[in-house]
Structures are given as structure tokens and as C-alpha cells.
Structure 1
Amino acid sequence: MGKTSRDKRDIYYRLAKENKWRARSAFKLMQIDDEFQILKGVRRAVDLCAAPGSWSQVLSKRLYEEDKDAKIVAIDLQPMAPIPGVIQLQGDITSVDTANQVIEHFSGEKSDIVICDGAPDVTGIHSLDEFMQAELILAAFNITSHVLKIGGNFLAKIFRSRNSSLLYAQMKKYFKKVYLAKPRSSRQSSCEAFVLCLDYSPPEGFVPTMGKSSLEMTDASGVTAEVIDGFVTCGDLSGWDSEKSYPLDIDVCFPSANLDEEDKKRYEFKDVVQPPTDPAYKEALEMKKSGIFSKMNADMTKELKAQHKREDKLKIARAQEAESEKTAEKKEDSPVDKVAEELKAAKIEQ
């Protein structure tokens, strides 16, 4: 895989391309499922923020192996390329209408599991990114409370932070067990992890709503380090390391082996399986290729320079005008001029 040995993409990216997964995140869900068996016996599943569809691919593969009548609904604002056996909804997860459509596809029944691998566009400001991710999880939980059956499970990506315990405490109110899972395929240097909530058991009298959209500090009462039921690393610890760059040069990997043509094909470059069908940045990329951004930047720079010149000329003109006014005032107030005027007036009187 890869064009040269200097390809810095990690092993899971290359394995995803080789095995036709749409993204490396497919391995994260598989490793969590291998550890907790959360997809075992599932007949109805919902994938939130599903694009480009790697988690939906895993659902399709694992659910239909056990039950051919299983149903999977994938939701995202972006359109996705079709996946066999997956019903796709292009909609907003914060809308009650979207929740109603999910239940309609399940013939009035509710889901056994809801998963969400969504994340906001990161800014690089960690505190802001962590907060936005927590808000996204709460939005995912809101729709989950509409479509998840009692006893069902919920899995969502989280950015670990000092306020994570508050989120765990909120989830603990609605689920009997809450775990924090870190798959082997998730880079250890990343604050990314996955909150796994098992056995949905909402408080008595709880009414699902889309209105819970912010972390509430009152929910933090009594929060301790033991609020979660465990931190679990998932995946074979002796397997591929997501932090390591494995060489692609066949001579480096197998210096003394006699390889046939089939072995050599393992290192052929492969294109991505399925790029986004209509990405949000598509128009921007097309504009960039056409050079319109360069022209806009040049025009803007030219206009700014012209504006600065106009401002400089205006400042000079105002300064000259002020200087002229000061000179005129000095002439009016000059005592020599006043004496000359008085003498001239006296001569006229005589």
C-alpha cells in the first residue's frame, strides 16, 4: 500500500483501504464490539453523523451475518454513497421529525443500539473543541432518548477533558453502566475516546426532549472519579500500533524473502474506496482550482492599497488645511498688524 516508503499514513489507514472500509474509524467500532459484544443480537441500529459510512459498513457486515432481517438507519446532513442494507436519511439529528422517520423505518419499534462517531470541525483551541464535542454528544443523546428502547445501548465519541466527569454523570442518570473505551486503533496521543452507555434506564417520569442542549453544572453534584464503571482499552495490544509508521518498502519488510507476484501486489497503491459524494468543501475546492481565490486575494490587496493611499492623501490634506487655518489666525492676532490698522484709521480721520 502507498506510493512510497515515505508515506506517513498510519497502518490503520492503509488497512482500511486494503479491506475497502471507507475510513479507518471502522476498526474502532470493531475493536469495541470485540470487547463488549454490543452488536450481538441487535436487530435495529441507528448510526448518527454517519458520513462517510465506515461505521454503517461495520453494522451492515456484522448485523446481517446474524440476522438477515436486521434494519440499519444512517443519519447525516451530508449525502452518502449507498451501503447494502443501510437506510440513509439526510437530516438533522436535532429535529424531532428525524426521530419520527427513524421509528417509521423500524415499523413503530425502537432501536436496540445508537452509535455516533460525529465530531465538530476542530479549531485547535482544546477547551472549545472539548466543549463542542460534549454538546454534540448531548444532541446525539436527545435523539437517542426518542428512538432507543429500554435496555438499549448508546456509543459516542468523546474528547476527554477535566470536565468529562460531568458528562459521565449525566449519562449515568439514564444508563445503568457507563464505560470509557479506548480502541487500539485510536491514537494514544489523541484525547479521543468513546463513552459506552449500557442498559438504557431513564428516570421515572422522564419525557424525551430535544431541549437539553448544554452541560448543566447542577448535574455534577456527587461526581467522583468512580462515576464510570471502568476505563477499557480495546483491541489486541500485541497488534498494530496506531502511533507507529510501518515501512512500505518491500525490501525493508522482507530483506531475505523470495516474494512472488501476489505478495508484491500487496504494496500497490490503492485509491480511496468511496470519497464523499457531495462534500461541504466541494465548491471551495473547485473555486481554488479555478484560481478565483488568488484573483480575489489580488483584487482585495489592490483595493486595500488604494484605500490606504486615499486615507494618506486625506490626512495630508487635512493637515495642510489645519496649518493654513493656524497661519491665518496668527496673522489676525499679530500686534504689528493691529498698530498699522490703527495708524491707517487715524490718518483717514485727520
Structure 2
Amino acid sequence: MGKSSKDKRDIYYRKAKEEGWRARSAFKLLQIDEEFGILQGVKRVVDLCAAPGSWSQVLSRQLYVPSKSDNQWPLLMVSFKFKETSLVHELPSWLVIQHFHGCKADLVVCDGAPDVTGLHDMDEFVQAQLILAALTIVTHVLRPGAKFVAKVFRGKDISLLYAQLKMFFTTVTCTKPKSSRNSSIEAFVVCEDYQPPEGFEPRNLYDILEQASGAYPELDCSSAWLEGPNKIMVPFLACGDLSGYDADQSYPLPSEDYQSLAPVQPPIAPAYKTALGLEKKLQMV
């Protein structure tokens, strides 16, 4: 099936096609950067779940400055796979550090999300486990004082995830860009000033993932048992230009002289379509 009529008339969807972005989500990262300045002073970036790659496009356009002495991109695009609620492949952190010539990353971003089922409790749980899986990578590759930005689904047990993030970052803010639809439960956590607890071992986070995946059914993974300062409340901020477009509205062209540009690149076709085409040709032979 093709895109729905709502997607076709969405202003950010149309602007993404005209400006050559792979997806409308590029504007979310641009608006987060406009509000928080997350790309300021950044030279080394890790992009987790980099598909279809619109955030990688933003990072490369904003950070890549070619020079005669060093013609490398200061960007590493990494994607990891997950099955059900757990990470199935551990990212070899030494490869990331080796790519950065022995240094750790200044920023890690993650715009990944599971295929939503419509069951909000299930979707929120799987998304939280995806963020915890990303956090296990962050603790290996992120330098102290650096930043982490990730998508979350807000729900009744989100305070548990906030509490875990606050253990590693001095400042945690939940934000919703203007380009994110009001009807969506998605938001983004902007975690600043990475400061892991004294004596922390990165491997310990895998125990949390195992508990949440059902390896220890006697443990309660909800946040209902948190009390006092352990029940973290993080500030919420709606970011982006408030005078700009609303992602849930449709707009007429600015004027009669306005010329709509053709897409810089066609919509992305999944790789399996090529495989299906080859299979049909083989069957016809």
C-alpha cells in the first residue's frame, strides 16, 4: 500500500521530498538542535538504528567540513538489530573507538522504534527496552560530558526509564518537536553531561535487559515500586519554531508565484523488492 492521503499533504513530508531528506524525521533532529544546540562542538557522532537515514543526513550536512589535511567524515553510522524485547547483537565498541582514532564519541543519537502494534503498553515496553539496549552501547562509546538523544514513547511507567537515564546524565529533558504529530505518543529525551556513577561497569546494564526480557520473572520491572527521589520527574519542553508549521495540519501554497520543486530523490524502495523481482525472473526461465 502507498502513503495515506494524510502523509501526502503533511507539510513536513512534502518539504522533506523537496529538500532531499530521506524522511520527515530530519526536521525533528533539526528542531532539537535549534532548541538545545546538541551539535555544537561535536566532531564524533554515532547514529544508532540509522534507517532510513534522515538523521544521518542531518548530521553529515551539519558536521562534515572537508579540509585538505583530513578528508574523513566525523560521523559513524551504526545500526543494531533487536528481536522481541532484547538486543540480539552487541555492538563491538572497540570498532567505534578505532574509527575515531582511539577517541570516544561526543554525541550518540537513536531514532529507532519498533513496529507499533497499537497496544500502547506493549509498544512502550518494547521501546523502553530498545532505549536501554542503546544505553548499553552509550556507556561503552560515549566520553564523559557528552550527550545522548533518543526517541521514547511516553506512558505510565516512563519514570523508570527516566530514573535510569538520570543515573548517567546530569541533565535529562523530555522534548517534543513541532514536526512530531500531536496524535503520536513519541517524544525525545535529550540527555546532557554524561557522568557515569563511580565504579560503574558497563556490563551491568545487560542484567537489566535480561530482567526485563523475562529471564528473572520474580523481579518487577514497572516503576510502581519507586519511591521518593528514585521516582524521577524530568522537565518537558515543546521545541521547534512555534510560529512554524503544525505537523497535523495541511497548508495552501504560500503564493501564486510559489513553484513546488520535484523530489531530489525518489522514495526509498525496500531491498526485498529487488529480491522478489529476481525471484520472478528465475521462475519464468
**Shorter chain as normaliser: what TM range?**
0.7 to 0.9
Unaligned runs of 5+ in 1: 79-91, 293-350
The Cα RMSD (Å) is 3.3
Per-residue deviation, 1:56 = 0.6
How far 1:93 sits from its partner (Å)? 6.9
In the aligned structure 1, how far is the partner of 2:8 from the partner of 2:89?
40
Q: CA deviation at 1:37?
A: 0.4
Maintained 8 Å contact 1:182/1:194: yes
* Pairing of 1:58-73 with structure 2 (within 5 A): 58-65=58-65, 71-73=74-76
Q: Judge conservation of contact 1:151–1:199 (CA < 8 Å) in 2.
A: yes
Q: Secondary structure at the match of 1:113?
A: strand
3-state DSSP of counterpart to 2:9: coil
Once residues 101 and 10 of structure 1 are traced to their aligned partners in structure 2, the CA distance between those partners, rounded to angstroms, is 39
Per the TM alignment, residue 104 of structure 1 is displaced from its structure 2 partner at its CA by: 1.2
| CA contact 1:42–1:70 (8 Å) conserved in 2 | no
Shift of 1:42: 0.4
- Separation in 1 of the partners of 2:18 and 2:280? 30
Q: Does 1:105 align with 2:110?
A: no
Q: Highest Rg: 1 or 2?
A: 1
Separation in 1 of the partners of 2:141 and 2:96? 7
CA contact (8 A) 1:22 1:52 kept: yes
Would you say 1:282 and 2:285 are equivalent positions? Answer: no
Q: TM-score, normalised by structure 2?
A: 0.80
What is residue 241 of structure 2 aligned with on the other side? 236
Deviation at 1:95, TM superposition (A): 3.7
Question: Aligned residues: percent identity?
Answer: 51
Task: Give, as a single letter, the amino acid of the residue that structure 2 aligns with 1:282.
Answer: K
| Unaligned segments of structure 2, at least 5 residues | 213-220
Q: Which residue number in structure 2 is paired with residue 189 of structure 1?
A: 183
Residue in structure 2 matched with residue 54 of structure 1 by the alignment: 54
Q: Which residue is 2:130 aligned to?
A: 136
Q: Distance in 2 between matches of 1:157 and 1:7?
A: 20
Question: Normalised by the size of structure 1, how large is the TM-score?
Answer: 0.66
Deviation (angstroms), 1:227 = 2.6
How far is 1:217 from its partner? 4.4
State which of 128, 144, 150 in structure 2 corresponds to 1:150.
144
Of Structure 1 and Structure 2, the greater helix share is in 1
Match of 1:160 in 2: 154
Task: Quote the offset at 1:225 in angstroms.
Answer: 11
- Residue 332 (structure 1) aligns with: none
Does the CA-based 8 Å contact 1:94-1:139 persist in structure 2? Answer: no
TM superposition shift of 1:60: 0.8
Q: Matches of 1:127 and 1:247 in 2, distance apart?
A: 38
Maintained 8 Å contact 1:93/1:143: no
Paired residues for 1:1-350 under 5 Å: 8-65=8-65, 71-76=74-79, 95-209=89-203, 211=206, 212-213=208-209, 215=212, 216-217=221-222, 221-222=226-227, 227-247=232-252, 254=255, 257=256, 259=257, 263=258, 266-267=259-260, 269-270=262-263, 272-273=265-266, 275-276=268-269, 278-279=270-271, 281-282=272-273
Instruction: Please state how far the C-alpha of 1:62 moved relative to its aligned partner.
Output: 1.2
Partner of 1:314: none
State the SS of the aligned residue for 2:30: helix
What amino acid sits opposite 1:233 in the alignment?
A: A
Instruction: Determine the C-alpha separation between the residues in 2 that align with 1:218 and 1:243.
Output: 32
